[in-house]
Chains A and B, each alone.
Chain A
Amino acid sequence: MGYAEVIQGLKKGQVKSVYLLYGEEAYFIKQLEQAVITAVLVPEEIDMNLLTLDKDPAINELIALIETVPFMGGKNVIHIRGTALLRPRKNGGNEQGEISDKVEERLFKVISDMPDYTHLILSTTDKVDKRRKLFKLIEKHGATVELVNIKAKDVRGWLTAKLADLNKRMDSDATEYFLGVVSIMPQISLNFLHNELEKAALFTDGKTRISQSDLITIMSSIPEISIFSMIDAVSQKQMGKALQLMGEQLKSGEHPLKLVSLLARQVRLMWQAKEMSKDGYGSREIAERLGLVPFIGEKMLKQSKNFTPEILKEITLALAAADYDLKSGRANKSALEEIIIAMCR
């Protein structure tokens, strides 16, 4: 099952007895947890009927909890965070901590036939073994939902929904900026983006529209953002600004190697975009081939016009050298400065 499916189901009032929420995207996991809980319980009931545990109880206890009729009527929701029940089993059968077969059997029975007054939510960001019997049972009798890290191309949709929630709109160049920054992130953390948008909403309290300069002012200066702005500055030959951005990152303790690799990636993309365009590809195709969102592809192409292929090659080589030199201790961060300067000339 997917996230959307679950939400749809809940809207229709179809709440499963057992949910297994797993995957890397903690943000979505949490969203779903909340969604299920609110679908089952009204706020007043939460105190009495919601049980949240930080780790798995003993199986017997769990079974008991599932089978206990709620005191005040209504339904029970048992929520186990960080469950280890579906971890890949170690070889060699029963180890310490692994449940005994008999008890396991009982659990399987219960899961297959959950009392209608109990809902069980299991969530974890750890690895999950899909071959385990428990997994298959939950899949059959309840719902297993994998929440993977969001892909860059899906962020736009998420962003729209989020803005709606916050009752805000974004100027188009602000959106472009936001998505541009996201496109640089090797891994997208929705929690982070969620927080950034909340901040932006608070910062622009009183206005309905969030502008690009608002974003620039209020968003955290993570290296991805700096590199993003840096390349922009460099394409406009604003050496002072580019150096300042680089300087800030270095001063705040960011590791030069990380900046090197982020910068290298951007340069690589620009160069590739440029070459492809020479070969006659349009910006759409370029974006697709490079795995970028269309308008980022366009942006890469546009930015690449500010550099000759020779410079891009030189920079790439210089970055490789800087990487090597930094790792072998021969260079220090001024190597990065020189590269910026060379790029701006």
Chain B
Amino acid sequence: MKWTDIIGHKDQVTMLRHMESSRRMPHAVLFAGPKGIGKNLVANVVAASLLCSDQEERPCGRCHSCQQISYGSHPDFLHIAPDGTNIKIEQIRMLQQELSMASFSGQRRVCIIDGAELMTTQAANSLLKVLEDPPGEIVFLLLAANKQMLLTTIISRCMVIAFQPLADELLAQDLMAKGYLPETSEVAARLSSGRMGIALALLEPEGLALRNQALEMILKLMDSKLEAVWHSAGVLEKMERNDILEFIKYVTYILRDILLLVTGQGKQWLFNIDVAEELCEVADMWSERRLVTAIRAVETARRALLANANTRLTSEALLIRIYDLAREV
């Protein structure tokens, strides 16, 4: 694990490296930014460098500490992640216990708390105490996808470093460097909105399946009879909730792409760059107003689904809307 493994986040990495090398690491740092953009990787490299014993270059990858980290067995490197859907108070208690004992190496410890926004209130309050009065030398690295969900009291005790999704180009380049084809890398980068994790998933075989399904469905809706609605709704009903939400996301992307085309923006900013031609063809059937309406309808459906609305009904309603909008003049 090295600093060079990290893609993007140039400024943040510069800052962190400087903080570490000048020995000015605050004892609580919050990495805030969407999931899958690389926070975990950065945190791990930071941890490795904090624990590394080399004088010149940290992490060196060679010393005992770095070795232990690569095996995942460093006793002073602690890691907390959600147990199920959240981080429970027992986990924090155990952490406190662990910390109350002396460190193994006699030096500092590093603790990564991944998914910090998923701490229960009690867990958070318990952590507060530790952040206030840390036993011995320790650096906490909290990772949160959603800063909003954290207690303000926790945030105020951390140095906050914001992370943003990677630039499409950068991500695409990196994917190509990893060996993926240019076209697919391009699409994956765009569809993932700068999230490496998601991009890689999209590049798996069948990674684009849902997206393709969504595309197919929309094209069909525009073209066929009303039956298409019920058929598609039936298909959606059988899907897992997460899949439906993702499916809907792709519907949004597609509609938005058509919107860009309709408003004359050219292909530069399209998400679904690989199917630009097909989208161009159908763009004629749409108007700006109807697309905006359609996109809103999707958002409404998304919210309804999140609120546990009836899947079938919600899907049907959405599909009907799109069906109608496609035909309106």
Q: Do chains A and B touch in the complex (CB under 8 A)?
A: no
**What residues make up the interface of A, taking CB atoms closer than 8 Å to B?**
none
B-side residues, CB < 8 A to A, are none
